[in-house]
A and B are shown apart, each in its own frame.
Chain A
Amino acid sequence: MVIGGILVITRKNAVHSALALIVALLAQASLYLMLYAPFVAGVQIILYAGGIMVLFLFVIMLVSIERSMKEKQFNSQWVVGTIAAVALGGLFIAVYAKGKNIFPEHALSVVEDTNTQEVAKLLYGQYMFAFEIASLLLLVAIIGAVVMAKKRI
């Protein structure tokens, strides 16, 4: 997955980046399966790798012309960006070195095969309000995307 991530940010061709991101998302789904979260893994494969990445590939097809592949690849502020990213990495390493003893070994919690039912109980019970707000967000996003991409409003 890290190799996929590195390929995403370094490829010149945008289609190669999109394919590397699909590989990274599928690897992430397998990691979710290792973490005993099969419902999230299924949602990831169907929605993320099968929906959002297809949308990205369509837009790349509409937008990326040949000229953008012959130009320079990196930003004009890439020096400052890399320094900021290295500072963030240093912060992560400092946090790791300080707090790496907190986490216990895996107490093997109750691993059942009713994960979807339990997630549904939480989603429709305790997080019902967030569920409705998420559907409202999707509605607003659909309206926004259609308005932004129209030729004449």
Chain B
Amino acid sequence: MTRPRLVAEFTTADALQSAVDALAREHYRGLETYAPFDMPELDAKLGRRRSPLGWLVVAGGVAGLIIAYGIQWWANVHSYPLYVGGRPAHAIPAFIPATFEGTILAAALTAFFGVLIMLRLPKLWIPEDEIDGFSRASIDRFWLTASIFASDLDREHAAELMRGAGARRVIATEA
């Protein structure tokens, strides 16, 4: 679709929040916000659900548990059993520490690389970077972009709502 998108700049988090409120109330979709800090209060309005990352991490942790225990079992029970002081080759309590650490390690690696993959990071450029002053999104400016409109009139209305909420400027861009 080549229709221009709307990009609005706000100077405060409260202004961004009221703009999101106004647009969400009129069921605009394809909204994205940019803020220098986490604003979880916007999620419900934008229909964002909780990240599914937690389930991935659980899976990663379970895999780590199995692998860590498996390595120890393979090494000390199956491949090269050592009998020292009459202790059993399959000494479960002795395998607990490394299994625990392996579980945590695999879960943490899944959390870190999982979030990078889900966000397609590293991604050093996005179209918004071409907008003058957009880089302040990481510092003290709050941005709202809207990309889905029924018509030109609809887009004009959305721009009105953004201005009404206190947008410093609203830009229509093809990018």
**Is B truly associated with A?**
no
